[in-house]
Amino acid sequence: MSPNITQSWVLALVPEIGLVILLAAVLLYDRLVKPEERRRVGLLTAWGAFAILVTTLGLWLATGEPNNATDIGTSLMWGGMIRFDLIALVFHVIFLVALMLTALLSLDVEHLQKGEYYALLITAAIGFSLMGASADLIMLYVALETASISSYILAGFATKDPRSSEAGMKYFIYGAFATGVMLYGMSLLYGLTGQTNLYILGSIFGGFQQIPTEVNAVVILSAVMIMVGFGFKISAVPFHFWTPDVYEGSPTPFTGYVSTASKAAGFAVFLRVFTTGVLGEPSDASMWWAMLIAITVITMTLGNFVAIFQKNFKRLLAYSSIAQAGYALIGLVTLSPDGSSATMYYLLMYIFTNIAAFGVITIVSNRIGSDELEDFSGLSRRSPYLALVMMFALLSLSGIPPTAGFFGKFFLFRSAVNAGLWWLALLGILNAFVALYYYLSAVKYMYLYRSENEDDPIPVSRGAKVGLAFSLFFIFYLGIFAGPIFEWTRTAADAFFVLAR
């Protein structure tokens, strides 16, 4: 690796550099703007995120970088800390879109109209972006902590609501513990090899025909510990206990953010670490693979079955998001380019779907001051368009065409069958029907049950309308014209397997 900073090195960091500039701008603007026009801070964040998104994609199209070069040496940058590949690009798009939509949907929530809120959202986005690109255990850890610490504060941001403080505290304690365990697992790997770069680690362990038994025990131990940290991020069972409380207590737009961007970032590192062969070949002999499959099955099943009994919309979506993580894990456990691309596609569609759902909850609960399912009764008469967006978001979560979720699930189940795990696909499908039951029950509240204040429409600001319309558009776009996007993630996924056996 040459020490000269080339054009690609800068290109690799464009989103992060943009976000840092945006962060400074937001903090500065927050001081300058009149108190009654605080809303504009949020608009600045949204526009800024959009501009960075356009720049990133534009530079990609203009320079052709990142491309799918299989040479690891040229794609590792900044001293091997990050890797500039299509995977990073896919995840940058995911995080920037999430940031933009979250900012748009936070606009009208009064207690969130503060510069600090948006600044923290941006900081978290920087952390997520670096997680998506990191190729080194140290970078990975630093990025993960950047994202996590901002998230802990955001979860407790509604200081007047005791539930929010509880959420922040709970998130912090669980998070600190989980990342601590993960760090210990990483240090074991370092102790074995003296290396921290994922690709060097990958080639070391990939080089073994059979990892020696005494080493293997340590590797498995470290795999399990790393799984704890990542599993916490994606709220996989049994590291999911924080999820419902944090989702319920946090400010709703942030819940949307944490359930999509944070989860996607968790999957980014999960995929990166587990598919580069850092922990050796997956096979029936490697115990961590069996464990991963067990986690997948339990995550989707438990999430869905507990969600059935929820009476609070945010808690329902919290458990549903646990289950969704389970589906996305199906792509991971196949440990194939096919599966990884399916997972990435799923995360992409999940951004639009879940943020739309939480956006509707934000708007409604901002008006009626409650997010119980019962209080959504008669929503279709009160605000037909909000109900429509919510319905399509829920249908997308359950995987019904022509919404994005259908293709998302199809790609996942297809990759599972391809990997010979057809029983896993079958379990996934049966789970999808359990999920359909409670999603449809939620639809029933909005469309069937009546309430007294049906003539009192819920006002939606222009910013929120744009956010919801954008999400809805992509829910359908990804559900109908899935081809190009899937090809894109499919090409990107090859970059995971550069050390391909």
Residues that bind other proteins (CB under 8 A): 380, 384, 388, 395, 400-402, 406, 410, 413-414, 417-418, 422, 425-426, 429-430, 432-433, 436-437, 440, 443-444, 447-448, 482-483, 486-487, 490
Task: In angstroms, give the least distance from the CB of 24 to other proteins.
Answer: 41
Shorter beta-carbon distance to other proteins: residue 111 or 462: 462
| Residue 221 burial (C-beta neighbours within 10 Å; 0-12, 13-18, 19+) | middle
Quick one: how far is CA 1 from the chain centroid? 31
| Closest CB to other proteins among residues 84, 445 | 445
Residue with Cβ nearer other proteins (221 or 417): 417
Inter-CA distances, 145 with 127, 131, 253, Å: 7, 10, 21
Judged by beta carbon, residue 164 or residue 403, the one nearer other proteins is 403
Min dist. Cβ of residue 147 to other proteins (A): 32
CB of 486 to other proteins, least distance (A): 6
Using the minimum distance from each CB to other proteins, give the nearer residue, 58 or 384.
Answer: 384
Query: By C-beta, is 208 or 385 nearer to other proteins?
Result: 385
Asked whether 434 and 398 are in contact (CB, 8 A), the reply is no
CA 440 from centroid of its chain's CA atoms: 24
Q: For residue 29, with 0-12 CB atoms within 10 Å meaning exposed, 13-18 middle and 19 or more buried, which class applies?
A: middle
Shortest Å, Cβ 418 to other proteins: 6
- Angle at which helix 482-494 crosses helix 462-480, to 10 degrees, equals 80
CB of 380 to other proteins, least distance (A): 8
Task: Specify which residues 312 forms β-bridges with.
Answer: 372
Q: Looking at the DSSP assignment, which residues form a beta bridge with residue 197?
A: 136
Tell me the closest approach of the beta carbon of residue 433 to other proteins, in angstroms. Answer: 5
- Measured between alpha carbons, how far is residue 195 from residues 33, 135, 138, 205, 208 in Å? 49, 12, 10, 12, 16
d(C-alpha 105, C-alpha 179), whole Å: 30
Radius of gyration, alpha carbons of the chain: 22
Tell the smallest beta-carbon distance from residue 176 to other proteins (Å).
Answer: 41
Looking at the Cβ atoms of 241 and 437, the one nearer to other proteins is: 437
372 SS3 class: strand
At closest approach, how far in Å is the CB of 299 from other proteins? 20
With contact defined as beta carbons under 8 Å apart, do 254 and 102 qualify? yes
Pick the closer one to other proteins by CB: 259 or 415. Answer: 415
8 Å CB contact between 60 and 245: no
